[in-house]
Chain A
Amino acid sequence: MSNKVNDEKIYIFDKPRNVSRLLLGFYIICAGLFVADFVVHRHLLHPWEGFPGFYAIYGFIACVMLVVIAKEMRKVLMRKEDYYDVKEENYDMDE
């Protein structure tokens, strides 16, 4: 159903400039959120939250860890797409 065509139209993220603008805006927001911890008076439920930048640092580290561990898991878990198909052919043992 899908058809690959060469359409000449330039879309918004085809221009590298738009991508870098988007990323720049994103970095500015991140920096602002980090600084906000020191400015805004917060009502804390838990002492760990009081550590400045707790959520920001935790979120960043959590995601990096997630990806690194998942990549390592790939070495153990990843199989070819037809992994289950091949053997399932001799699934039936009625010889």
Chain B
Amino acid sequence: MIWTSSLPPFIPFFIAAFLVLVTRGYLRNVILLATPVLGGLHLWLDVQPFVPMVASDALITAKELSYQFTIFNYQLEFMRVDKLSLLFGYLFHIASLISIIYALHVRDRTQQVASLLYAGSALGAVFAGDLISLFIFWEGLALSSVFLIWARRTEQAIKTGTRYLIFQVMSGVLLLAGALMYYHQTGSTEFNFIGIESTAGWLILMAFGIKSAFPFLHTWLSEGYPEATPTGTVFLSAFTTKVAVYALARGYPGTDLLVYIGAAMTCFPIFYAVIENDLRRVLAYSMINQVGFMVCGIGIGTALALNGAVAHAFNDVIFKGLLFMSMGAVLYRVGNINGSDLGGLYKSMPKTAMLCIVGAASISAFPLFSGFVSKSMVMAAMLQEGHNYLWLMLLFASAGVFHHAGIKIPYFAFFHHDSGIRVKEAPTNMLIAMTISAVLCIFIGTQPQYLYALLPWKVEYWPYDMTHVLAQLQILFFSALAFVWLNKQGLYPPELRSVNIDVEWTYRKLLPATARASYNVSQAFNRAVTGAVQRGWQGFQSVFQASRLSQYHLASSWPTGSMVLWIGVILGGYLLMDVCF
């Protein structure tokens, strides 16, 4: 009964979240694991896109008409199935299974319930057929994910989580405002191509932009993710930004502006990543960089570019998850994740080190690893559309991502100088989760045809030819050579215990300082004005008392009656003027 093909995939996750709340121990683990497995199998076996994708550029939307609800006259559609939503549906089931295995040792009901609700909201969002239900799950993502930051239960985490939540809720408010405007303009809330021709389109773009970490709107990510629990970050890295990428791919394909925003996103975070000490924050910056490639692909808007964007989202969830997992394992065992304090961990965590290197090779787009087969689609599309200089930027970013995520992360954590830290290898459940991810990275990298078959747009592409592989190997090896050379020359910036100021400085320092300053200024102003007025009044009184004017009858007592009389005289004067002129 429950296995009808139109069952929205978020429902099992929400039910499981409730069950996890009331169960404990072994049974709870079974529920946690069974949810993504059964949900994923159901999606894979029972749910087919209603109309197969035939057109090259146009994304045909198929609807399954059950599971529609009406709220305040808006029709909600929870189950819109096409190849685009299905791809993200599969992805989110895989990601939640891996993350749940990784977090299986955690005995924290808050995190377990929050992560199921979070994964469920992400699934709800990608299958939402209209903007109002998208908004509901959009807020669901915000409210559930913040608990994964708060669950660290430090004062700093609680403050950071609150700032994270403010950004997320702002995004939701913009989405709702945009959706309502869109409805009044078009008479429909259906979520298809939106574009930036209308104000509503801009509002919704800003909402998506916050969640996909556009420049200047990115600090919730670079601040929030490193502050979450070791396992929480793995969940966080999988869903929020990828839902945003999905939403952009559906609402704004071919929007030229996105190419430029995406290119900026690929470039600026890598500078921060090079000098950042907190290795999970390095990964957060490199996540913005990777999302930049996807945003570029969406902006280009050709079939190849869009396929590249969503394929890269698919791969990124897995390899970025793997990297966050390996760093989470180090944090879990060692107790801190600063590059300045780590080093030589390959001796005590060799398996984690190996798995981390697989993730690093994948994110750097080494041939035979997953990043290669998807990033190259975006790069090729960039050249095809004649964005030569932006292509150079992306090439720069590709070299840079290898530099900071491919080399820096494994090198400073596991190699470098021996910090003398000796710990146990990561727990078995963590190793299993990381192994699944690593196998997927290599499988997709070597057998990309299976991923390509799932892509929504129809286009022929094959990444493995001599020219392309050679070019990629050259750029990677010579980036590594630069790293070796800089290290040997002593030019490489050492890892230092520090923070680097970013846009959050404006609201963590500038705004509070401005507020304090303006409060003080307004206080001083207030005092000055009050004082001046009082002094003036006193002066006037003393002058007045001394003058002969104070002798007159009207001035001595100021009775109400004489005031009324004079007002009457003035009004009469007005009336006369009105009549005369």
Asked whether A30 lies within 8 Å of B508 as measured between CB atoms, the reply is: no
Given contacts A42-B466, A59-B478, A70-B493, 4 further A-B contacts (CB under 8 A): A33-B478, A63-B399, A79-B500, A91-B512
Asked whether A58 lies within 8 Å of B399 as measured between CB atoms, the reply is: yes
Interface residue count on the A side (C-beta < 8 Å): 60
Tell me whether A60 and B508 are in contact in the complex, defined as CB-CB below 8 angstroms, given that A67-B486, A69-B271 are known contacts.
no
Contacts of A88 in B (CB 8 A): 159, 508, 512
Tell me whether A1 and B423 are in contact in the complex, defined as CB-CB below 8 angstroms, given that A77-B275, A78-B496, A93-B519 are known contacts.
yes
CB distance from B159 to the nearest CB of A (A): 7
Asked whether B516 lies within 8 Å of A93 as measured between CB atoms, the reply is: yes
How long is the Cα–Cα vector from A60 to B483 in the complex, in angstroms? 9
Asked whether B478 lies within 8 Å of A57 as measured between CB atoms, the reply is: yes
Interface: B214 (CB within 8 A) = no
Interface: B334 (CB within 8 A) = yes
CB distance from A33 to the nearest CB of B (A): 5
A residues lining the B interface (CB < 8 Å)? 1-7, 9, 11, 13-14, 23, 26-27, 29-30, 33-34, 36-37, 40, 42-46, 48-49, 53, 55-64, 66-71, 73-74, 77-81, 83-85, 87-88, 90-91, 93
Tell me whether A2 and B508 are in contact in the complex, defined as CB-CB below 8 angstroms, given that A46-B383, A84-B499 are known contacts.
no
CB distance from B521 to the nearest CB of A (A): 13
Q: Is the interface of A mostly helix, strand, loop or mixed?
A: helix
Asked whether A59 lies within 8 Å of B479 as measured between CB atoms, the reply is: yes
How long is the Cα–Cα vector from A37 to B474 in the complex, in angstroms? 9
Whose C-beta in chain B lies nearest to the C-beta of A6? B420
Mark out the residues of chain B between 488 and 509 whose CB falls within 8 Å of any chain A CB in the assembled complex: 491-493, 496-502, 508-509
Interface: B415 (CB within 8 A) = yes
B467 is contacted by which of A44, A69, A81 (Cβ under 8 Å)?
A44
A-B contacts at CB below 8 angstroms, number: 176
How long is the Cα–Cα vector from A71 to B489 in the complex, in angstroms? 14
Contacts of A2 in B (CB 8 A): 333-335, 421-423
Asked whether A60 lies within 8 Å of B482 as measured between CB atoms, the reply is: yes
B residues lining the A interface (CB < 8 Å)? 156, 159, 270-272, 274-275, 333-335, 346-347, 380, 383-384, 388, 391-392, 395-396, 399-400, 403, 415, 418, 420-423, 465-467, 470-486, 491-493, 496-502, 508-509, 512-513, 515-516, 519
Tell me whether A62 and B396 are in contact in the complex, defined as CB-CB below 8 angstroms, given that A40-B470, A67-B491 are known contacts.
yes
Asked whether A5 lies within 8 Å of B333 as measured between CB atoms, the reply is: no
Whose C-beta in chain A lies nearest to the C-beta of B380? A45
How long is the Cα–Cα vector from A9 to B174 in the complex, in angstroms? 59
Tell me whether A30 and B499 are in contact in the complex, defined as CB-CB below 8 angstroms, given that A45-B383, A93-B519 are known contacts.
no
CB distance from B486 to the nearest CB of A (A): 6
Report, nearest first, the 6 A-B pairs whose CB atoms are least far apart.
A63-B482, A59-B475, A59-B478, A70-B274, A55-B474, A42-B467
How long is the Cα–Cα vector from A94 to B470 in the complex, in angstroms? 63
Asked whether A4 lies within 8 Å of B493 as measured between CB atoms, the reply is: no
Tell me whether A58 and B271 are in contact in the complex, defined as CB-CB below 8 angstroms, given that A30-B477, A67-B493 are known contacts.
no
Contacts of A90 in B (CB 8 A): 516
How long is the Cα–Cα vector from A67 to B415 in the complex, in angstroms? 20
Contacts of A42 in B (CB 8 A): 466-467, 470-471
Whose C-beta in chain B lies nearest to the C-beta of A61? B482
A77 is contacted by which of B399, B481, B500 (Cβ under 8 Å)?
B500
